[in-house]
Amino acid sequence: MRTSLTLAAVYAAAAATAFQGFNYGSTFTDGRPKTQSDFESEFKTAASLEGTNGAFTSARLYTMVQGGTTNDLISAIPAAISTKTTLLLGLWASAGDAAFANELEALKKTVAKYGSQLDGLVAGISVGSEDLYRHSPTGIANGEYSGAEPSTLVKYFDQVRDVIKGSPLSTAPLGHVDTWTAWVNGSNKAVIDACDWIGMDAYPYFENTKPNDISDSKQRWADALGATQGAVGGKPVWVTETGWPVSGKTVGAAVPSLENAKKFWDDVGCPMFGKTNVWWYTFQDSSPTTPNPSFGVIGSTLTTKPLYDLSCDKAGTGSSSSASASPTTTVATTASSQANGTASSAAATTTGGGSGSGSGSGSGINRPGTNATVGVPTTAPTAVVGSNAATTSFSIAIVAGMIALAMF
């Protein structure tokens, strides 16, 4: 039995302020590490995109480590401070304990050097990204890195809390980002319990085991959201990745195109912008090379003119992020005010054991950290389909044409 809800109902109870931005990797698609000036240019351009009223002023990061170094802090930190860009910080957790120790060291350096300057700019901290998916049968079948077990992630949560204790980041809410199918898998409950918030990645484009034409995408996405909400015991759900490709291979009935990307933006994005914490996938994924599929709202050139119209007729996209990014707002106030900036609603409940379908990832296939312990990775939104919360089983779905995209 399918989830019975509308996106309007999902967002009816959400707060009026929310973080709104894009996902940002630490390297370009050819593996070159981004510098502070690169991040500054990206953040400024995103905040000036035509049709958005300056609303996209938040950035989600996947790692605390600067590309090409062992554990130097990522240059996105000073870039965010200089541009007043809010951050969803991330620590890469799929490369083992030694690599995570480097993430922690970079976090320590961030706190020591920029702690007070980050006041009001940190939306939260993500301990890992899609590690549970990579550890699942689907992730293994898709040739992913090893991911991390729930117990490992819980240990990492404790380590992060130890690092930020007593610092200006001590009140930053901690969460984990994963595919919705990972959240409805009952064996991952320990991670849910460790989270202050839940990060959901969902891509209807990849759901080729169910109707996934662009006309079906709104329901596919709502089903994934409802299943996640039904599994996490009332924890706030933040939308950490979703989007529709502008180019690439057809998956099932899902056709990448500018027209379809615009429709998905209108149907899924616009109703939640300004009401739900959202980091869209993605700002730019084709510099200098274009992956297949490509999800960027701009092409290979940094420009404020998007590939398709980003205006929202019925959604106010200008109020949330700018308010959240105020440098006078304390981290504690920010965390508190954003607790309701979620895709949560009493109406968003599931039936039939969470049988709504949904693709999961998008943050990445084959993306380890950039801590000099592994090679330069490639990444892709990945298909995770056919989950059933009653059996916590995953159907195997391998999507051809994975992106050669350096998110890390």
**Which range marks the domain in which residue 188 is found?**
7-395
- Residue 316, judged by CB atoms within 10 A of its CB (0-12, 13-18, 19+), counts as middle
pLDDT (tens digit, 0 to 9) for every residue of the chain, 408 residues total?
333 344 444 434 344 479 999 999 999 999 999 999 999 999 999 999 999 999 999 999 999 999 999 999 999 999 999 999 999 999 999 999 999 999 999 999 999 999 999 999 999 999 999 999 988 877 777 776 689 999 999 999 999 999 999 999 999 999 999 999 999 999 999 999 999 999 999 999 998 999 999 999 999 999 999 999 999 999 999 999 999 999 999 999 999 999 999 999 999 999 999 999 999 999 999 999 999 999 999 999 999 999 999 999 754 443 333 222 332 233 333 433 444 466 633 223 222 222 222 233 333 333 332 222 222 233 344 443 333 332 222 222 322 233 333 344
Predicted pLDDT of residue 53: 96
For residue 240 the two structure tokens come to: 């950490």
Contact 89/129 with Cβ under 8 angstroms?
no
Residue 83 sits at φ, ψ, to 5 deg, of -105, 0
80, 18, 6: which is closest to 237 by C-alpha? 18
* Catalytic positions: 130, 241
Is 404 a member of any domain?
A: no
Predicted pLDDT of residue 8: 43
Is 380 a member of any domain?
A: yes
Residue partners of 227: CB distance under 8 A and separation at least 6: 3, 180, 183, 184, 350, 354, 355, 356, 358, 387, 389
**Domain of residue 50, CATH code:** 3.20.20.80
Predicted pLDDT of residue 385: 37
Is 320 a member of any domain?
A: yes
How far out from the chain centre does Cα 332 lie?
A: 22
Is 405 a member of any domain?
A: no
Q: Can you tell me the distance from the alpha carbon of 362 to that of 129, in angstroms, rounded to the nearest whole number?
A: 10
Task: Describe the crossing of helices 36-47 and 76-83 by its angle, rounded to 10 degrees.
Answer: 40
Predicted pLDDT of residue 343: 63
For residue 286 the two structure tokens come to: 């084709």
Q: Structurally, how many domains does the chain consist of? A: 1
406, 404, 386: which is closest to 395 by C-alpha? 386
Return the amino acid letter for 140: I
73, 87, 9: which is closest to 42 by C-alpha? 87
Predicted pLDDT of residue 11: 39
Residue 96 sits at φ, ψ, to 5 deg, of 95, 170
27, 149, 112: which is closest to 407 by C-alpha? 27
Predicted pLDDT of residue 392: 28
Is 406 a member of any domain?
A: no
Is 407 a member of any domain?
A: no
Q: What DSSP string runs through 94-150?
A: SS-HHHHHHHHHHHHHHHHHHGGGGTTTEEEEEEEESHHHHTSHHHHHTT------H
Is 2 a member of any domain?
A: no
Q: Can you tell me the distance from the alpha carbon of 43 to that of 283, in angstroms, rounded to the nearest whole number?
A: 10
Q: What DSSP string runs through 350-407?
A: --TTT--------S-SS---SSSSSPPP-B-----EEEETTTTEEE----SS---B--
Q: What is the pTM of this model?
A: 0.79
Is 152 a member of any domain?
A: yes
